[in-house]
A and B are shown apart, each in its own frame.
Chain A
C-alpha cells in the first residue's frame, strides 16, 4: 500500500466519490419524475466505502455488488454515461439496456454485476477468487454486501469456503444500519451489532472502520488487499456508514429517526470530510475540488441527455445475452 496518497491519487478518489454522489442524486430526481423504468436503490452517503476499496483494485480484480450497485460500478471504472443509459433501458447502456439498475455488469472492468438477490455476491466472488488463486495472476475478489445480506447462509458458506481454501477474497460489509426497513440493532444481533465479530469466528482477520472516512477505509482495504495478493487469504472489512435515501426510491422511511439523514449530511458526509481533511492538510486546493464538482455535474448532465436520446433495444436483441456458451 502507498505510504502517502499523491495529489493525483487524492483528486482521482474525490472525483469518483463526486461522480457517485452526482449520479445518484440525479437518478433520484429522474426517478421521481417518472422517466426511469424499473426500480432503483441509491448509494449516496456510502461513497467512501466503494472508492476507498476500489482505489486499490485493477481491471483484473473482480468485484460483485448488490442491488445498491451504482457506486461500486463507478468506483470500479464502469463508464458512467453507459450506466445512465442502462438505467434508462437504452441500447447504448452498459448491458444494452436489458439489465437495468440492478444488473449492471462490465466484465472488462472486473465488475461482475450488481445483483437483485440479497446475499448472492459472496459465492460469486468466492468463485472468482478461486479462479484468481488457480491462475496465480495476483488478482483478488472483493464482494460488497450489506448488513441484511450478512445474515444470509450464502454469506456464511462463502466465508467458510474462503477461509478453508485460503482465497484472495475481501468481504466488504457495508453496514448502513438498515436491512431494508429493519435496524441492524435487531436484524444482525448475534451477540453484537458489530458483525465483524462473527467473521472473526470463521478464523479470518476482521476489522471495523468508519465507512464515512475515505482514509480509514483506504488504509484498511489496502492492507487487506495487499495481504490477499500475497497469498494471505481472506479478510472481513466492516464499514459503518449510512445511506441517504430509502431502501428503494419511494420508500417512506418511517423506520428512521426524523433527522438522521439531515444530521449525517451536515456532519458526517464522506465528501465533506474528505475535502476538509485534504484541503486542511494542504494536499489539494479547494478550487481543484470545486473544478471537479463542476466537471462531474456536466458529465452527469451529458449522461442524462445522451440516455434520453438513445434508442430502445431492438426487438431482435430480446433473446441475446440470455444464456452464455462456454
Chain B
C-alpha cells in the first residue's frame, strides 16, 4: 500500500434497490435482480475489499432491505463462517425511495473522502452517480436490464479490484478510463447527461420511464456504440460501431423500417430484436451542438424517459469528454497479479494471519 493505513481507507457502495424491475420485464425477456441477490452481491464485494485491506465501507441506506439484510449477513457470516468483514458505515441521510437517494448518497461519499465508488445498477443508476461523483473512480457493475455502461463481473473479484485501487496498491492512473458523456440542455439551462445513449422520442409524458417502443424513437445519440451492445445504442452499434475510447460519438435519425439509408434488426431490449430504419447518421464531435429535427417529445437518457419538451423549447445536445472515471477490473487484477500482489508474502494483502490461513489451503510463509 502507498502510505495509507487500513483505517484510512473507505470505499462507497451504491446498490440501487429499484434497478431490474421496470416494464421491460413485461415486454421483453429481461431478467430481474431481486433484493436478495443484490444483498449477496454486496456481501461478496465487501469480502473481496476486506481481503485487499479496505477497512470501511460506506453504504447508501435504503428501505428495501438491502442494508438490513446485509447487516444480518455480516453478523451471521462473522459468527458462523468466520468471515472477515470491513466496518459497514450507513450514511446519515433521509431515504425517499427515489433517484434523489442516489444523488445524496454520492454527495455524502464524496464529502467523506471515499477512494472508489462501486455502483450496482443499470445505465440509469450509473448516470445518476456520474452526475455527482466528480473525479472519484467507479467500479460499474450491472444489475439492470439494457446495460451498456456497466459490466457483469463477479463481485468478489470486483471488490478485490476496488480494494487494490482504493488502497493505492495499483495506481489509479494505470487502470482507470475517462468516459464520454452526452449533455442536454433545455432552454439554455444545462440540465442533464447520458453516459451511453440519448434519444428523442414521440412520447408526450414520462410514464413508466423505460423506452421499449422502437416506433416512437426519432433520433438516437450515442457516446459509443458497440456491435455487441443491448439497448438503443445497439442500433448505432450495428450501423456504425464507435469505440468507448474514441474521441467522437454518433447521431442517428430514424425512419420507418424499409425507408431511409438502411434498415437493420437490433436488440433494443433483452429478447426484443426489431427492425429499425435509419434515415441518416453523423459523427458527433466534442463540444459541437448537434443539429436536431425533433421539435417535441420526450428525452430518454440511457434508456429512460426523463424530460418532456415542447414546440418552442430550445434544446441543445452535445458531446463532452469529461465523463466519470471507471476502473477496468480486468486490467487491475492483471497488473496486480503481474506484480505479485496476491502472493501471501506480499505486503499488499493487509489481512490478518488468521484470515490468510482461512483463505488458503497452503500454510503461508512469512
Report A203-241 CB contacts with B as 1/0, cut-off 8 Å: 001111110010110111001100100000001000000
Instruction: Answer whether residue A194 sits at the interface, using C-beta atoms and an 8 A cutoff.
Output: yes
In Å, the complex CA distance between A185 and B65 comes to: 8
| Residue B189 interfacial (CB < 8 Å) | no
Interface residue from B23, B69, B204, B213 paired with A191 (Cβ < 8 Å) = B69
Q: Are A192 and B32 in contact (CB under 8 A)?
A: no
Interface of A, helix, strand, loop or mixed by DSSP: mixed
Q: How far does the Cβ of A93 sit from chain B's closest Cβ, in whole Å?
A: 37
Give the size range of B's interface with the partner: 20 to 34
Residues of B within 8 A of A207 (CB): 21-23, 25-26
- Nearest B residue to A238 via CB reads B21
Number of A-B residue pairs, CB cutoff 8 Å, is 88
B27 touches A223 (CB 8 A): yes
CA distance A220 to B25 in the complex (A): 10
Separation of A192 and B205 alpha carbons in the complex (Å): 30
Distance A227 CA – B28 CA, assembled complex (angstroms): 11
Residue pair A191, B26 in contact (C-beta under 8 Å) = no
Cβ-defined partner of B207 (8 Å) among A189, A192, A219: A219
Is A280 close to B, CB under 8 A? Answer: yes
Q: Which of A3, A191, A192 has the most CB of B within 10 A?
A: A192
Is the CB of B202 closer than 8 A to any CB of chain A? yes
The residue in chain B whose Cβ has the minimal distance to the Cβ of A209 is: B208
- Whether A277 pairs with B23 at a CB distance below 8 angstroms is no
CB <8 Å contact, A192 and B35: yes
Most buried by A among B21, B22, B64, B311: B21
Task: Point out the residue from A194, A208, A281 that lies within 8 Å of B308, measured CB to CB.
Answer: A281
Question: B268 → chain A, closest Cβ, in Å?
Answer: 15
Residues of chain B within 8 A of A213, CB atoms compared = 206-208
* Cβ–Cβ < 8 Å partners of A210 in chain B: 208
A218 lies within 8 A of B25 (CB): no
B34 touching A192, Cβ below 8 Å: yes
When the two chains form their complex, are residues A277 and B17 in contact, meaning their CB atoms are under 8 A apart?
no
On chain A, the residues within 8 Å of B21 by CB distance are 194, 196, 207-208
Residue from B17, B23, B26, B311 in contact with A194 in the complex, judged by beta carbons closer than 8 Å: B17
Task: With both chains docked as a complex, state the minimum distance between the C-beta of B18 and any C-beta of chain A, in angstroms.
Answer: 8
- A219 lies within 8 A of B310 (CB): no
Give B contacts to A, CB under 8 Å: 17-18, 21-23, 25-27, 32, 34-36, 63-65, 69, 202, 204-209, 213, 215-216, 308, 310-311
A-B complex: 5 closest residue pairs judged by Cβ atoms: A192-B35, A215-B207, A191-B36, A216-B208, A281-B204
Complex A-B: 28 CB contacts under 8 Å: A4-B202, A191-B36, A192-B17, A192-B34, A192-B35, A193-B35, A193-B65, A196-B21, A200-B34, A206-B25, A207-B22, A207-B26, A209-B208, A213-B206, A213-B208, A215-B208, A216-B207, A216-B208, A219-B208, A220-B23, A220-B208, A223-B26, A223-B27, A277-B205, A277-B308, A281-B310, A282-B311, A283-B204
Which A residues fall within an 8 A CB radius of B? 3-4, 185, 189, 191-194, 196-197, 200, 205-210, 213, 215-216, 218-220, 223-224, 227, 235, 277-278, 280-283
